Chains A and B, each alone.
Chain A
Amino acid sequence: MSVSSSGVRLHPERALTSAARQAKLVGSALVGPALILVIAINILPAFYGFYLSLHKVFFFANEGYVGLANYAALFSDPFAWQAIGRSLLFTFCSLAIAVPLALLAAMGIRRLGRWGSLLLTVLLVPWAMSPIVVALLWKWILVPSPGGLVGALFAAFGRPPQDLLTDPMLAMPTLIAVGVWRNFAFATIILIGGLGQIPKDLYKAAAVDGLGALESFYKITLPLLAPSLLIVISMLTISYFNEVQLIIGLTGGGPIRQTNTLAYLLYNTGFVELDQGRGNAIAIVMFMINMALIAIYIRILGKQPGAAA
């Protein structure tokens, strides 16, 4: 009696678990190809890079295990420290210009209606271009001759043309300007989305309470925009920190190492000089810094509604 009743109770449960197990199998099989490709291409190389960073590797030939010698050499090289400093300078100066500019553009575009979406499209055109092509283009814009565009501007102010890319004081600011020109509008997209989520009633209530435009910007817009701002800042930080194509195309790390960022040092050591052991040590350091930045990025994304679905 008890046996048969438990048998009756068990049977549908067992059918259910086997159906659930089958669904889980199908689900995993469907996710599998994408997961394998992503791991193989985006994650596995990092581990292989760590393995190689412990070896002396020159011109594709592994000459044996050297322990942490590559790292020791890297961290005792003042140029490597200088490169980290240049990376941080490039990243944070670019951010300091791009983020306020993007916010200004986002607020202006929202006020403009149909013309606003046209302006956003126009501003995004440089972002749709290849960074190396942007570098070629700006190299021509900046050519130090009265026949060049910037040269003609200098001439209009009665100044001789100046080579901004070979001037040690001006190369980095010029690089930053070109970088911001290319991609600040991308941040604008996300900020427009964020601004759209702030309830309009708040501004009306603030106006009733006698708050000025500037005050409601500080007390309503900025705090409520914080999630979008954080996303924008983390995405741009990663993008600027890893920028290498603009540097390859515009300055090649010069003049006198002024634009020799960690990303460019990696390019030069690993791909040009083919010191691949040491290059991989730089790559691992860069990867670690990226992971630290991404940890922040995931924390921010993870807090968004729907991210856990």
Chain B
Amino acid sequence: MKFAARLVLSLACLIAAIVALGPIFWAISTSFKPTNRIFAVPPEIIPLSPTFAHYSRLIAEGVQWAFLNSANYAVLAVLLSLLFGTVAGYALTRYPVAGKPAILLIFVGAMAVPGFSVLLPTQLLASELGLYNTYLVLPLLYAGHILPFAVWVTRAHFASIPRELEQAAEIDGYSRAEAVWKIVLPGAKPALLASATFGFLHCWNDYVTGTTMVDQPELRTLPVALIFFQGFHGRDWGALMAGVAIATIPPVVVFLLFRKYLIGGFADGSVKG
């Protein structure tokens, strides 16, 4: 009986893993097939004569610049949100702040407001302010999207670190800023990595903000460039799946490297407080 239950569980896990990863594997496999083999019947699970042609095709189209834009926007936004978020998170646990309950409510509320429901007025506002079609509009908006999470997670972490730790350092002759920099921040590494990972995934994976805030080809993000490529070249599945592969590798690698902190951050920030 126990063995049978174990078997059923293992089988279910195997099926779940295949359903989760199979489609991604299939896309990557397609991206390495020569165009005339992509529709082969029966389908080739593993390409028999692999080629990099689809990847060079994307490079010929300049997709690497969109890749670079996506990376720059995401890194800028993450740095901005970590800087402002950590400072705010620290102040909210260590200082009296005017209107603290209202401020916390704004951060929680903003965390839950999906960017899409305010995207249209944001586009018009950006166009009025001359931010539309600039290099900074996306990093700024992304930073605003991920900041509430950064504040929430770092605040929860600072609240769990005893104030005495800093006071001891201050007695030893450190200034408050030094104590924070040398004692508190290193201890907050899990919270910082959690919000950085979450932030990177949000920025890298966005499509709607990217496609509505800039329309100059040089400013495009990777997902926007891929959809444009699809628009021009239709069902060139080999090249499109090569695009899917390069758009998927960075967030999945970042997720795999920092999953421990990300998962912990969600558990801390939402369930355990």
- The chain A residues found within 8 Å of chain B, CB to CB, are 20, 23-24, 26-28, 30-31, 33-35, 37-46, 48-49, 52, 57, 60, 105, 108, 111-112, 115, 119-126, 128-133, 136-138, 140-141, 143, 145-149, 152, 155, 181, 185-186, 189-190, 192-194, 197, 227-228, 231, 235, 238-239, 242, 244-245, 248-249, 263, 266-267, 270-271, 276, 279-280, 283, 286-287, 290-291, 293-294, 297-298, 301, 304-307, 309
Contacts and interface: CB of A to CB of B under 8 A. Distances in A.
Q: Which 6 A-B pairs give the minimum distances between C-beta atoms? A: A306-B273, A27-B95, A41-B144, A49-B121, A147-B39, A30-B91
8 contacts: A27-B97, A34-B87, A35-B103, A126-B20, A130-B204, A138-B23, A286-B117, A306-B272
B256 interface: yes
Contacts of B151: 34
B263 interface: yes
Given A41-B141, A129-B205, A27 B91 contact: yes
Contact of A119 (B17, B94, B141, B147): B17
A138 B24 CA distance: 9
A270 B103 CA distance: 31
Given A30-B95, A42-B148, A124-B259, A190 B110 contact: no
Contacts of A124: 255, 259
B207 interface: yes
Q: Is the interface of B mostly helix, strand, loop or mixed?
A: helix
Interface centre among B21, B109, B140 (most CB of A within 10 A): B109
Contacts of A133: 205, 223, 226, 243-244, 247-248
A197 B94 CA distance: 29
Contacts of A146: 41
B84 A48 contact: no
B84 to A, nearest CB: 4
A149 B205 contact: no
A28 B97 contact: yes
B212 A271 contact: yes
A38 B147 contact: yes
A280 to B, nearest CB: 6
Contact of A33 (B87, B205, B207, B251): B87
Interface in B81-133: 84-85, 87-88, 90-98, 103, 105-110, 112-125, 127
B208 interface: yes
A276 B123 CA distance: 10
Contacts of A57: 124
B237 to A, nearest CB: 5
Given A60-B124, A239-B114, A189 B205 contact: no
Contacts of B26: 140-141, 149
A46 B254 CA distance: 33
A305 B120 contact: no
A40 B144 contact: yes
B153 interface: no
Given A27-B94, A44-B125, A147-B38, 13 more contacts: A26-B91, A45-B119, A108-B9, A112-B13, A119-B17, A132-B223, A137-B24, A148-B39, A149-B26, A190-B270, A193-B266, A287-B117, A306-B273
B205 A131 contact: yes
Nearest to B13: A119
A24 B97 contact: yes
Contacts of B69: none
A46 B38 contact: no
B144 A38 contact: yes
Contacts of B110: 38, 42-43
B86 to A, nearest CB: 9
Contacts of B247: 129-130, 133
Contacts of B165: none
Contacts of B207: 130-132, 245, 248-249
Nearest to A20: B96
B24 A126 contact: yes
A249 to B, nearest CB: 7
B227 A249 contact: yes
A192 B91 CA distance: 31
Nearest to B251: A128
B48 interface: no
Nearest to B96: A24
Contact of A283 (B106, B121, B127, B241): B121
A244 B273 contact: no
A238 to B, nearest CB: 6
A27 B100 CA distance: 10
Nearest to B122: A45
